[in-house]
Amino acid sequence: MSDQSEVPDDEQGTIAPAAEALPGKADSAGWRRMHPLTPLMQGGLALLVILGIIIANLREMLIELFVGESYSGGGPEELIETVIAEGMLGIGIAAIFGLILVIVLFSWLSWRVHTYRITGEAVENRSGILFKKHRRAPLDRIQSVNLQRPLLARMLGLTKIDVQTGGAGGKVELAYLGHRDAKTVREQIVRSAARSQGDDPSESAPEPVHDAAAVPTGDPVGAVGYDGTSYGEAHGAFDRRVQEFADFDIDASARRSGVLVAVPVPRLIGSILLSWEMLFTVAVLIAIVVIAIVRSPGALVGLIPLALVMVGLIFGQFNKGFNFTLTRSREGIRTSAGLTATNTETIPLGRVHSVEAMQPLGWRIFGWWKVRINVAGYSVSQGGQNSNRNIVLPVGRVEDAVRVLEALLPDAFDEQHPLRDALVGSGEGYVRPGTRSASVLWFARRRAGVQLVAQSRNDERATLRIRRGALTRSLIVAPLLRTQSVQLRRPLVHRMLGLASIQTHTVLGPIGVEARGLALPTARAFFDELAGTVVRVQSGEADRREAERLAEASAPDAGTEQR
């Protein structure tokens, strides 16, 4: 049964959300335990393997310790015969059961103290027997909520919830929960975070998409929504486990409105084979073959590690991009992908700091694009700027890229500034580079440009758009509401040529929001306009939030607890 009563927070003095049903029974402070198999996933299995290796390597010493005679070695049959001959069978069995009992007891204690809760202010996690650990993610700082399912966890029906916040290393993991329970908890966290950040999920129902790609075929049981309706069709534990293993994690609202983007397997394979990494690997392979033919046949030995690198590269990208789907729900944008290990990420609406659509040279003949984002949190805590987790569309047509950009930045595009033209058009209305910028931009000069789109004086949807790139075309869209600072830069070569660059700073991520090669007078005028617009937009947003806070404080029922 789910505990839906009000639960006072013993440390923060807040009230846990009472209207939402969470799985499991909570104690008096609102803490709930993880799945009982959590210790197995967090090291119990590895501990058993390590103990087995230690015993196997020290068996001679152990037998001599208990029997008093040296053991000459041999296979398992000789070992068992020696134990039986010395009358140590009972002791051996008792020792094995005792060891298992100690491991089970330690795992049970670890599970007892590993708890989580969702209050009106934060998501919290406690763990540890000898060394206590307590992590807390404030709801107003949550940037994304992810579901991660390694292969073993999928086989056991378990899922890990990864809550990303805006700080470096600010991550709270709820590992592990049952798959259906994890989806319920995920939705609770996303809704609570949206309310805490001033967004009402009930007011932003997803819009139906036209001609959206369908969910990939071949699913034997169908996708499963977080509301759990599809699970009622299962006729036993095995059927439910199969459904959980093959779950596409598409919620009910997204199922009704349609999937925004789904990446077919042939397109994914083609994008990997035509990527810059693969083209560079093939070029090195050809160079080795030529050197072997012309100079030294021994150079062919270098093909072995190169082939291993190529296979690893193909499988790694295929594994991460397999069965990719992107949907939009009331709470935010959701991406799901993975073959052996699946990862589902939910990004609340309004938390994206910048978006970039990219088109490598090898993709241009097919019109494919890739989309990635800067979001506070995991670009720092998950391995820096090259993290693949920033990708929200591994490969798609230009129509797919447009849908993804419009979903990530709703209402940021209009008929006067069409997005498709910014991607593949001539770029009318963009501020062009200076006449002497060819030495800086090379072949990218024809495409490069920057544009400030502000529809009204305090328009919170104002954006900065940058077109750049020759071998890899790129379009960057950065909401001014998320801009942290604006800079006019003049590196040495720019100063020598009378040029300057405009840069806006966001959270750390793979996207650098910078327009290079502008003529100095043009750059100065654009910088003044951009800085003024950023101040007006963010001041207007601050005034709006303050007005909302005062309105809530003056409401008749202010300060009362929700029941």
Which CATH number fits the domain that encloses residue 146?
2.30.29
Distances (CA, A) of 474 to 369, 374, 449: 9, 15, 11
Q: Do 273 and 255 share a domain, yes or no? A: no
CB 56 within 8 A of CB 48: no
Q: Do 256 and 208 share a domain, yes or no? A: yes
For residue 113, the tally of other CB atoms under 10 A from its CB is: 14
Quote the number of domains for the chain.
4
Identify the pLDDT of residue 401: 94
Question: Beta strand 142-149 with 133-138: parallel, antiparallel or unpaired?
Answer: unpaired
Does residue 32 fall inside a structural domain?
A: no
Out of 263, 286, 302, a domain closes at 263
CA dihedral 504, 505, 510, 515 (to 10 degrees): 20
Secondary structure (DSSP) of 212-274: PPPPPS--SS----TT-GGGGG--SHHHHHHHHHT-----HHHHHH--SEE--HHHHHHHHHT
Does residue 350 fall inside a structural domain?
A: no
Bridge partners (DSSP) of residue 32 are 116
Strand ranges in 463-498 using DSSP code E only, listed in sequence order = 463-468, 472-479, 485-489
Please name which of 245, 190, 238, 191 lies closest in space to residue 223, comparing C-alpha atoms. Answer: 245
Does residue 339 fall inside a structural domain?
A: no
Please name which of 377, 19, 9, 11 lies closest in space to residue 188, comparing C-alpha atoms. Answer: 19
CB 262 within 8 A of CB 405: no
Q: Do 121 and 248 share a domain, yes or no? A: yes
* Dihedral sign computed on CA atoms, order 106, 108, 113, 116: positive
Kindly list the strands in the beta sheet with 499-505, ordered across the sheet, starting from the edge strand earlier in the chain: 485-489, 499-505, 514-519
Q: Do 410 and 516 share a domain, yes or no? A: yes
CB 144 within 8 A of CB 347: yes
Identify the pLDDT of residue 561: 44
Does residue 373 fall inside a structural domain?
A: yes
For residue 51, the enclosing domain spans 38-113
The CA distance from 173 to 336, in Å, is 18
Question: Could you give the angle at the alpha carbon of 118 between the alpha carbons of 114 and 123, nearest 5°?
Answer: 75
Q: Do 310 and 434 share a domain, yes or no? A: no
Secondary structure (DSSP) of 145-211: EEEEE-HHHHHHTEEEEEEEESSTT-EEEEEEEEHHHHHHHHHHHHHHHHHHTT--GGG-PPPPPSS
Give the pair of three-digit tokens for residue 113. Answer: 């103290």
Q: Do 361 and 474 share a domain, yes or no? A: yes
**Cβ-based neighbours of 156, under 8 Å, separated by 6 or more:** 37, 40, 41
Does residue 466 fall inside a structural domain?
A: yes
The residue ranges of the chain whose pLDDT is under 50 are: 1-19, 203-235, 256, 379-386, 558-563
Please name which of 277, 265, 246 lies closest in space to residue 388, comparing C-alpha atoms. Answer: 277
pTM for the structure as a whole: 0.74
Out of 78, 93, 113, a domain closes at 113
For residue 42, the tally of other CB atoms under 10 A from its CB is: 19
- Give Cα 480 to chain centroid, integer Å: 23
Q: Do 252 and 309 share a domain, yes or no? A: no
Q: Do 274 and 152 share a domain, yes or no? A: no
Does residue 29 fall inside a structural domain?
A: no
Out of 87, 113, 139, a domain closes at 113
Q: Do 120 and 109 share a domain, yes or no? A: no
Kindly list the strands in the beta sheet with 171-178, ordered across the sheet, starting from the edge strand earlier in the chain: 171-178, 158-165, 142-149, 342-348, 332-337, 325-328, 261-262
Give the pair of three-digit tokens for residue 496. Answer: 């020598």
Please name which of 341, 306, 318 lies closest in space to residue 265, comparing C-alpha atoms. Answer: 318
Q: Do 305 and 381 share a domain, yes or no? A: no
Q: Do 101 and 127 share a domain, yes or no? A: no
Give the pair of three-digit tokens for residue 50. Answer: 């390590």
Identify the pLDDT of residue 85: 64
Unique residue bearing structure tokens 């307590």: 134
Does residue 97 fall inside a structural domain?
A: yes
Q: What backbone torsions phi and psi does residue 525 show, to the nearest 5 degrees?
A: -65, -40
Cis amide leading into 116 (omega within 30): no
The CA distance from 86 to 368, in Å, is 73
Does residue 333 fall inside a structural domain?
A: no
Q: Do 388 and 498 share a domain, yes or no? A: yes
